[in-house]
Structure 1
C-alpha cells in the first residue's frame, strides 16, 4: 500500500471537515457568471436522438424486490437503452421561478450541480451501431465518440452493455470548494444505484466491474484524451458498470485494444469561462486512483425474508421520475406509519440478486444511525442499523458508556435495529447538520457511519468507494421515501466531528460520510413545473 497516498487522503478528509469554529474552505462568494453548465456536449459527433417512453417501465416498484416474481429481461436494443438512460440519468422535470429555469434529474446531485457524466460502451444492437457514446441528458441523445473496427464485436461474449461514469470536479468545486471531492463521490453512488434500479425494472442484472483500473476506464471512456477536453474541466474516471450476464462480461483486453485503434471524434464543450482552482482536490483524486485493483470475491449477503409488499403497487417508472430532493418539510406533518418505516429499514439491508446493493461487489461498510422523531410505534431517540453482524460489536466498543444498544420491540428479528439513546434528538441533529431546519422538521434523520479506518488500510481508493456506497444508500432512501408517500433529501453539510464526539468516536475507525432526512414535503407554489422533454 502507498503510505504517502494514505496520508494525503486522511489529511484531505480532516481538512474538509466542517466544524463549529469554521467551515471547510470554499469560495468567499459565488460568481454566477462562472457557474458551470450542467450539461456537457461534444462537437463534431454523430448524434442519435433517443425515443421517450413516458410511464415506463410499467413494472411494479414492489416487483423489483420479489424473489418469487423475477422480471423477464427485455431484449437489448435501442429502445431498451433509451428507457434505461431516461429513468436513471435523464431529466425528470424543469422548474422555473422569476425568469430562472433549471432542470431536475432522476439521479440526485449535491446542489443540483451534476458532476457525473455517463458513457455507453456497446456492441451493435438493433437500431444502434456498436461503439462508445456520451449520453447528453438535456436532449436525451447519444453522441458518438468512437467508431470501432470490426474486431470490436469479438469482445462481447453475451448480450449486454457497459456504462462508464466519470466526474467533473469543477462543477461541485464552483460552489463547495475543497469539500467538493466528497460530493462528487456521493453522486457517483447515486448514479450507480439509479442505473441498478432501472436495469432491475427491465429484468437485467448489473454489477460494478472491479477488474478495470481507473486508467483502463479512462481509455474506454476516452477521458484520457486530454487534448479533447478543456484544461480546467477534465473528466476523471470513476466506475464501469456491466449490465448483462454477470458471469460473462466483455473481454477487457480486446475492448481496449480495439478502442485504442478506433476512430475517435468530438471535442468536449467548455462549461465555465473562468475557474477558481482547488489544488487539494487534485491531490485527493490522485491519491485515490486505483491503479491495479484485483477483482473482488463476490459478496454473498446473508439470507433474509423477502421485502414486504407496498400496499399501493406504483409503477417503477413513476417512482423513478417523481424522486425529488425536498426543500422544506411540514413540521406538523403526519407521523410515518410503523410498517412504512420497517420497509425503509429492511430495504437498506443487502439481499442476493436484488437492487440496489447487489451492484456492489463488497460486503456492507456503511451503517446508518437513525434519529427518529415521528414514527408510529417507535420511541423518539437514536438508533443504529448495523448492516452486517460483525460490525455491531466494533461500534459498541467505540461508543461512550451511556449508549444502551438495546434490541427493539416490534421489529422483525432479521432487521438488526438497536436503540442507542432515548429522547428528542431534533435540536441535536439540526445543529450537527449545519443548523439546517430541514434536518429537524422531518420524520427522521440519518447519519451514515463508515468503516473508515479498516477500509483505508486496504488501500486509499476505498475512500471513493465508501462514498459511493453511502450514495447508493441515499438513493434507496430517496425511492423508499417516495414509495412511502414521503420525501427525502441528502445533506452534505454537517459538522463531522460534532457527531463523532456525541457518539464517543475518538478515532478514524468510524467516520460519518453522508447525512439524510425524510419528511412530509411542503411544495413551493411559486415554482412552475414543466415536462422534462418537449414530447414527454
Structure 2
C-alpha cells in the first residue's frame, strides 16, 4: 500500500533523514525581514510603549476564548490594530548573530513569518492589503484596489466573514528563515509557530472585546498570487479574522 503524502513527509523530516542545514554548512543567516521598496506608502502605528496596558483575569480569558465568525461593522482604532500586531509579532529585541525575540515563541528564535493585514474597517487607514514591518512597527501599502477584499475572500474559499471583519491577518512563511537552522524539519516548526501566533491573536482580541476566528482553509496558489508571493520560498500558512 502506497504511503500517504503526510506519512512520507513525517518520515522524510525525521532527524536521521535530514541533510545538513544551511547553518551547519556555514551559509549566512537569512535576514530577519524581507526587503521592501522605500518609496511605498507607509502607515505609522502607535509605538508599543504608547499602548494602554490591559488588566485581565487570565483564567477567564482562557476559558472565554472561542472562535467568532459573525461581526458588526465596528471600526478598530489605530491603537487597537497596533496592539494586535504587537501582541502577535512584536519584536522585543533583534540579535544580529542569533535571531529576534518577539511576543510569541518560535523554534530557535527564527520567527519566519511576514504579516499581511486586509483592512476593512480601521480608523484612519484606507481599506486594502498592507504588510506589517515588525522591526519598524509600521505598515506598508501592498494593494488598495477596490477588488482586493473580494479577491482574498475568494482565495479563502469564499468565507464571507473576511468581508465583514474589521481586519483579517494573513501570515506567510519565509521557509529559508527556518530551514537555514533546521533543514526540512523546519517545515514542521513553521506550522507549530503559526499556532503560537494565532493563539496570541485570539487572546489579544479578547482583551479588546473583539472576536477572532482562525482560517486554514484556502486555495494556496490563489492566495499566494493575490499576496504577491511565489508560493515556494514564501507562502501563505495561516489567517485570522478580527471583528466586534
Q: What is the TM-score when the length of structure 2 is the normalising length?
A: 0.77
1:160 and 2:159 aligned: no
Question: 14, 27, 30: which is aligned to 1:36?
Answer: 30
* Pairing partner for 2:206 from 185, 200, 203: 200
How has the CA–CA distance of structure 1 residues 32 and 134 changed in structure 2, closer, same or farther, with 3 Å as cutoff?
A: farther
Larger Rg: 1
Task: Decide whether aligned partners of structure 1 residues 112 and 61 sit closer, same or farther in structure 2, where only a CA change above 3 A counts.
Answer: farther
User: Paired residues, what number?
Assistant: 223
Rounded to whole Å, the distance in 1 between the matches of 2:220 and 2:123 is 30
Name which structure has the greater RCO, CA cutoff 8 Å, separation 6+.
Answer: 2
Cross-structure match for 1:80: 80
Distance 1:144 1:210, change over 3 A: same
Q: Is residue 89–residue 107 contact of structure 1 (8 Å, CA) maintained in 2?
A: yes
**CA distance in structure 2 between the aligned counterparts of 1:180 and 1:80, rounded to whole angstroms:** 32
> For 2:142, what is the secondary structure of its paired residue?
strand
Q: How does 1:193-342 map to 2 (within 5 A)?
A: 193-209=199-215, 211-224=217-230, 234-244=233-243
1:129 aligned residue: 126
1:58 and 2:64 are equivalent in the alignment:
no
Pairwise CA distance, 1:26: 2.7
Question: How far off its partner does 1:93 sit?
Answer: 3.3
Cα distance between partner residues in 2 of 1:26 and 1:56: 46
Which of residues 193, 218, 239 is equivalent to 1:187? 193
Aligned-partner Cα distance in 1 for 2:22–2:63: 50
**Aligned mates of 2:145, 2:198 — CA distance in 1:** 26
What CA distance in whole angstroms lies between the structure 1 residues aligned with 2:9 and 2:147? 45
CA distance in structure 1 between the aligned counterparts of 2:99 and 2:148, rounded to whole angstroms: 43
- CA–CA distance in structure 2, aligned partners of residues 42 and 28 of structure 1: 24
User: Deviation digits for residues 89-116 of structure 1, max 9, x if unmatched?
Assistant: 11123568xxx57531012111111112
CA 1:126/1:13 → structure 2, altered by over 3 Å: closer, same or farther?
Answer: same
Distance in 1 between the 2:138 and 2:198 partners?
Answer: 20
How far apart are the structure 2 equivalents of 1:220 and 1:123?
16
SS for the counterpart of 2:4 is helix
Distance 1:124 1:58, change over 3 A: closer
Alpha carbons of 1:61 and 1:216: their partners in 2 closer, same or farther (altered >3 Å)? farther
Q: CA deviation at 1:12?
A: 2.2
Structure 2 residue matching 1:34: 3-state secondary structure:
coil
Residue-by-residue CA offset, 1:178-210 (whole Å, 9 max, x unaligned)? 211111111111111122121112111111235
Structure 2 residue ranges without an equivalent (≥5): 65-71, 151-159
Asked if structure 1 preserves the Cα contact closer than 8 Å seen for 2:75 and 2:122, the reply is no
Alignment of 1:94-113 (within 5 A): 94=94, 102-113=99-110
CA root-mean-square deviation:
3.1
Pick aligned residue for 1:27 from 8, 12, 21: 21
Does 2:135 correspond to 1:141? no
